């Protein structure tokens, strides 16, 4: 499913993101749960995603570094 969502990115970026998710599944599960909670509270998907990503920006940067 993720590959389908990442199809417009260059292959290197796709691999980098897939590796980050596969290496840190618990972190990304937590992120998705937080986004879902905000959406269930009435927030739109984009707004919820941006809010959660900003909250965890430092961790995301560490994980996504090459």
What does the pLDDT look like over 11-43, one tens digit per residue? 999 999 999 999 999 999 999 999 999 999 999
Looking at the whole model, is its pTM more than 0.85? no
**By C-alpha distance, which of 48, 28, 47 is closest to 38?**
48
What is the DSSP code string of 29-59?
HHHHHHHHHHHHTT--HHHHHHHHHHHTHHH
In whole numbers, what is the pLDDT of the chain averaged over residues?
A: 92
pLDDT at 3: 76
CA–CA distance, 43 with 9 (Å, rounded to integer) = 27
CA–CA distance, 35 with 8 (Å, rounded to integer) = 23
pLDDT at 66: 66
């Amino acid at each position: 499913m993720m590959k389908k969502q990442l199809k417009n990115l260059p292959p290197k970026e796709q691999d980098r993101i897939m590796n980050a998710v596969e290496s840190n599944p618990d972190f990304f599960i937590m992120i998705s749960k937080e986004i879902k909670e905000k959406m269930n509270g009435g927030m739109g998907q984009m707004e919820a995603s941006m809010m959660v990503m900003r909250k965890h920006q430092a961790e995301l940067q560490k994980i996504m570094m090459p």
